[in-house]
Chains A and B, each alone.
Chain A
Amino acid sequence: MTTAAAATRPKSFVDEVMDATPGCSKLEMCIQCGTCGGSCPSGPDMDHSPRQLFAMIRAGMKKEVLKSNTPWYCVSCYYCYVRCPQEIHITDIMYTLKSMAIKEKNFDEKAGAGLAETFTDYVEQDGRSFEFGLATWHNLKHRPMKLPGMAGLGMGMLQKGRMDMTRHKIQGIGQLQAILNKAKELEEAAS
């Protein structure tokens, strides 16, 4: 019957994004009004406005959506989120798309993905972020030509005592890693 048919029907990309977004994303409610793009501070530099991206998700254009710089250029300002007349959790959907792109290693925005991955590595190793390591590694990897120009900022941060060159590990790092690994396992099993 219909339930059996629904169970065997392959998941559309819209379903996939909605299922992967915690809470109720309401992605299917988009009326293509464009309030999101008009409210977005980095909109002018995005490959696609959020509205366009949502139309592409509905059209099943997974590869193009994940390769777009749009989710990476989202600054988490939540203007679109509070202004959306359909109350779509746009910022949360951007996080979902980023994590999908990283999981499938399908992204063109290398600096955006690189920043998230390097940040995450430090948090998983120490339980804390490590700005000095993040700034040097990230810039070395993704903007080596700009590094000499940024050295002044780094030196200033160090001289003013605003940056630490040593890492700080939390005592319960083993506990934290066990928690994070279990969460990843559960997510894997559910998908």
Chain B
Amino acid sequence: MTNKYIFYPGCSIQKNSRAYLDSMLEVQQPLDMQVQEIPDWNCCGATEYAAVHRTASYALVGRNLALAEQMKDGADTVVAACSACYLNLAKTDKYLRNDQKLNEQVNMALAAGGLHYNAGSVQIRHLLDVIVNDIGLEKIKKSVVKPLKGLRIAAYYGCMIVRPDPDKRWDSPEYPMALDKLMRALGAEVIDFPLKTHCCGGHMTQINPDTAYELIRRLVHSATEYKADMLVTLCPMCQLNLDAYQVEMNKALHTNYNMPILFFTQMMGIAFGKDPAALGFGKEFVNAAPALAKIGVSAPAGGEPPAAKAKKPEGLPMPQMPSQD
């Protein structure tokens, strides 16, 4: 039976986490899963809009929920792949169910755009949730043609998928197991990662990078200590912070961590025998190709793009501070 879902893509997945979207679409077919995008959806507000406008932040999400409700036709579950999108949708729906005053205000605002949303009329779920709990590990195991045997994986959840968990969908807000089990079903060895739900730094890369770098360092350090070959995530923000900003963190702290950060759907695609290029491999800043080579998979090389032009030393040699190396 095909599982049909209403899909809320969110802004990040369109471009900065294209590998997540592409790999999700690649594994849809073997999973017998079908997603239909909410037409003309708008941004969920991330962690920023609500810091400026409170009621309007719920109306912003309300428009997406109202558009999703109009699509209800067999499918009544809205799936989001980004943890921030998922939480903003789920939290808004819950608050509209429980806070009568907010519900009235949001629906009056929606009426100004000719829309209405009946709180609770759609279910909001994360992509990992529907893959593990609807489709199920048994079906996933049957699709594996290239087991990830020999790879050590740190299963990383980050925050907003499991906290505050408004609809009580997860086993634990601090030590969930769904992604661990999924990676094991693909044949990988999963490390017992103590920081699996710690913060990736969130918006601190933009506000005070030093705060973010320390949080990024802890995560990649712990995964490195446990000799993980890669860290697998389920959120565009986590991937961006741990991957692209891992490079910046290495520069700032004079470290040389080298932990590839991948989306769980990319690793599902590898196990299902899909073409690594179609799964978005090569777009990562910390090259994942050497890790995949360990299991005999050849993937396009990621890594930092070559610097524009290396400066030639000019003039007489000058004394340099060690940190300038």
Please report A residues at the B interface, Cβ cutoff 8 Å: 20-24, 41-42, 45, 71-73, 75-79, 81-82, 91, 95-96, 98-99, 102, 109, 111-113, 115-117, 119-120, 123, 127-129, 131, 135, 138, 146, 149-150, 152-153, 155-157, 159-164, 168, 170-172, 175-176, 178-184, 186-187, 190
The reply to whether A160 and B207 form a contact with Cβ atoms under 8 Å apart is: no
Which among A22, A79, A102, A111 has the greatest number of chain B C-beta atoms within 10 A?
A22
Name the interface residues of B42-71: CB closer than 8 Å to any CB of A.
Answer: 42-43, 45-60, 62-63
Which chain B positions have C-beta within 8 A of A175? 63, 113-115
Interface residues of B in 270-322 (CB under 8 A from A): 282-283, 285, 304-305, 307-308
The yes or no answer to B253 lying at the interface (CB within 8 A) is no
Query: Would A120 and B15 count as touching, CB distance under 8 A?
Result: no
Q: Are B16 and A179 in touch, CB under 8 angstroms?
A: no
Could you say which of A81, A98, A146 has the most chain B C-beta atoms within 10 Å of its C-beta? A98
B53 and A23 contacting across the interface, CB-CB below 8 Å: no
CB pair A138 B206 closer than 8 Å: yes
Q: Is the CB of B207 within 8 A of A73?
A: yes
**Contact A157 B160, CB 8 Å, known A23-B98, A186-B55:** no
Q: B164 within 8 Å of A by Cβ?
A: yes
How far is it, in angstroms, between the C-alpha of A12 and the C-alpha of B244 when the chains are bound? 45
User: Which B residues touch A115, using CB under 8 A?
Assistant: 48, 203, 206-207
Instruction: Tally A-B pairs: CB < 8 A.
Output: 218
For B45, B51, B109, B285, the residue with the greatest tally of chain A CB atoms inside 10 Å of its CB is B51
**Residues in B neighbouring A162, C-beta threshold 8 A:** 15-18, 283
- Expressed in whole angstroms, the minimum distance between the Cβ of B197 and any Cβ of chain A is 8
> What's the Cα separation between A184 and B58 when bound, in Å?
11
B33 at the binding interface (Cβ < 8 Å): no
- Is A127 touching B42 in the complex (CB atoms < 8 A)? yes
Q: How far is the CB of A107 from chain B (nearest CB, A)?
A: 11
Closest 6 CB pairs of A and B: A75-B202, A78-B163, A182-B112, A183-B109, A119-B48, A98-B51
Q: Is the CB of A187 within 8 A of B159?
A: no
Cβ–Cβ contact B50 & A123, under 8 A: no
The interface residues of chain B lying within 8 Å CB-to-CB of A116 are: 48-49, 51-52
Cβ B48 vs Cβ A22 within 8 A: no
Closest-CB distance, B232 to chain A (whole angstroms):
18
Inter-subunit contact B163/A183 (CB<8 Å) = no
**With A127-B43, A183-B109 given, is the CB distance from A99 to B16 under 8 Å?**
no
B99 at the interface (CB under 8 A from A): yes
1/0 per residue, CB under 8 A from A, across B84-104: the answer is 100000000001001100100
Contact A96 B54 (CB under 8 A): yes
**Given known A23-B95, A98-B51, A155-B305, contact A190–B105 (CB-CB < 8 A):** yes
Taking a contact as CB atoms under 8 Å apart, the answer to whether B305 and A160 are in contact is yes
Instruction: Return A34 CB to nearest CB of chain B, in Å.
Output: 18
Q: Are B98 and A163 in contact (CB under 8 A)?
A: no
Q: Answer yes or no: B260 CB below 8 A from chain A CBs.
A: no
- The answer to whether A163 and B55 have CB atoms under 8 Å apart is no
User: Given A156-B285, A162-B15, A183–B206 Cβ distance below 8 Å?
Assistant: no
Determine if B75 is an interface residue (Cβ-Cβ < 8 Å): no
* Other-chain residue from B105, B112, B203 in contact with A75 (beta carbon distance below 8 A): B203
Give Cα A184–Cα B106 distance, bound, in whole angstroms: 10
Query: Could you tell me the distance in whole angstroms from the C-beta of B111 to the nearest C-beta in chain A?
Result: 8
**Quick check: is B11 within 8 A (CB to CB) of the other chain?**
yes
Does B211 have its Cβ within 8 Å of any Cβ on chain A? yes
